[in-house]
């Protein structure tokens, strides 16, 4: 009942905003709609070559005490196609698919974004469908412009628990001003069981909130606060996080930027996967932090736009309260950008994983991987 009441209130607020706008004079309604709909098409190819530099560890990070295994491989991570249709001045529909996911079981894959967004004004926009709810820095940009080789470990784990990555639901967000301080916000209600599901796997929902204080647009200084609470079959879950970004121009061609993000929450996926758990849901807690400094040198040559060098440090513990076994990952990387806005890029990096306790014949084992990645944005 509480879930239904909360969702009803959110929808009621949306309807009230609609009624308010319906009563306001709108010059756009008097204009011809002959220019709509308009379409934008985008695409992304991203492929990589991975080789394991560790003895008896395969390309997936799994240790093999004996027998044959694969220690190097070519792979296609993304072959994305996106269609963005503007139905009117305020309404857009977005669809994003990753065709590379057909290599796996496509049942809960392939389709990524599928949503309708209605923008009342810069202060309020409503999104309905399948999208990435705001719950940290990484949700605010696509994979093709991240400053490292891949998403962070905490992003992946919090995604499995329904807080990040692609989820199905409704969201309201925009930018407000508190005095002269711009404040971005997002409020989301999602199923919390991942993308492309036939329906929710329980009657509970994940309620997610994020706010970002834009302290300096010139230097990209933002402070973010995230929080969420959800209801699943075993009980109530929560998650929260803090993050910060900044950009410092060092000279006309040199730029330094940094990201810092930390999260903590209940790991209900681990709890439900444990046979006869020794204690309650609240004892299964995960937490992580990453720091990502990046140096960028603008060359602006006709064949080479810039060079970037980064080194991300990650610390993630999936069960720090009961059976702590943190994973530390260091990923130094150098990237060459051949077209502006990462239109074409080559990245070379090394991923180094270290566990406090490692176990043979499992993926919980120390490993080093050399990765060469190429991408093109269409």
pLDDT tens, residue order, the chain (378 aa): 445 545 444 444 444 444 434 444 444 444 545 688 999 999 999 999 999 999 999 999 999 999 999 999 999 999 999 999 999 999 999 999 999 999 888 888 999 999 999 999 999 999 999 999 999 999 999 999 999 999 999 999 999 999 999 999 999 999 999 999 999 999 999 999 999 998 998 899 999 999 999 999 989 999 999 999 999 988 999 999 999 999 999 999 999 999 999 999 999 999 999 999 999 999 999 999 999 999 999 997 888 999 999 999 999 999 999 999 999 999 999 999 998 888 999 999 999 999 999 999 999 999 999 999 999 998
Question: What's the confidence (pLDDT) of residue 313?
Answer: 98
CA dihedral 80, 188, 127, 113 (to 10 degrees): 10
| Domains in the chain: boundaries | 2-12+34-377
Question: What's the confidence (pLDDT) of residue 107?
Answer: 87
* CA nearest to 242, candidates 256, 221, 216, 263: 263
CATH of domain 2-12+34-377: 2.40.160.10
171 touches 186 (CB < 8 A): yes
User: Could you tell me the pTM of the whole model?
Assistant: 0.87
Buried b (16+ CB within 10 A) or exposed e, 211-243: bbeeeeeeeeebebebebbbbbebeebbbbbeb
258 touches 311 (CB < 8 A): no
Determine the Cα–Cα distance for residues 91 and 217; give it in Å rounded to an integer.
27
């Amino acid at each position: 009942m509480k879930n239904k009441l909360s969702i009803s209130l959110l929808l009621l607020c949306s309807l009230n905003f609609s009624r308010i706008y319906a009563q306001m004079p709108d010059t756009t309604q008097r204009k011809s709609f002959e220019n709509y709909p308009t379409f934008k098409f985008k695409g992304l190819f991203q492929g990589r070559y991975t080789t394991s530099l560790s003895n008896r560890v395969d390309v997936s990070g799994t240790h093999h005490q004996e027998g044959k295994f694969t220690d190097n491989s070519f792979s296609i991570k993304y072959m994305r196609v996106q269609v963005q249709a503007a139905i009117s001045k305020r309404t857009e529909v977005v669809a994003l698919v990753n065709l590379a996911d057909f290599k796996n079981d496509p049942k809960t894959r392939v389709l990524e974004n599928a949503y309708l967004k209605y923008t009342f004004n810069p202060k309020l926009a409503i999104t309905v469908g399948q999208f990435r709810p705001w719950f940290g820095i990484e949700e605010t940009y696509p994979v093709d412009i991240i400053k490292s080789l891949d998403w962070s470990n905490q992003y992946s784990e919090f995604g499995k628990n329904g807080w990040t990555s692609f989820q199905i639901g409704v969201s309201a967000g925009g930018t407000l001003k508190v005095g002269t301080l711009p404040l971005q916000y997002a409020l989301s209600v999602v199923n919390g069981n991942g993308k492309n599901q036939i329906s929710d796997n329980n009657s509970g929902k994940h309620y997610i909130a994020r706010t970002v204080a834009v302290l300096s647009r010139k230097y990209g200084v933002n402070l973010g606060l995230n929080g969420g609470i959800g209801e699943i079959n075993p009980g109530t879950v929560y998650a929260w996080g803090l993050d910060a970004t900044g950009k410092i121009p060092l000279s006309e061609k040199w730029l330094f930027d940094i990201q810092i993000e930390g999260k903590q929450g209940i790991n209900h996926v681990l709890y439900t996967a444990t046979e006869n758990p020794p204690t309650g849901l609240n004892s299964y807690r995960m937490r992580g932090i990453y720091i990502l400094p990046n140096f960028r040198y603008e060359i602006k040559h006709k064949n080479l736009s810039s060079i970037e060098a980064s080194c991300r440090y990650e610390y993630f513990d999936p069960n720090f309260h009961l059976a702590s076994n943190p994973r530390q990952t260091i990923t130094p990387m150098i990237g060459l950008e051949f077209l502006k806005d990462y239109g074409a890029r080559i990245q070379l990096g090394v991923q180094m994983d270290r566990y406090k306790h490692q176990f043979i014949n499992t993926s919980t084992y120390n490993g080093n991987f050399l990765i060469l990645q190429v991408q093109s944005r269409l």
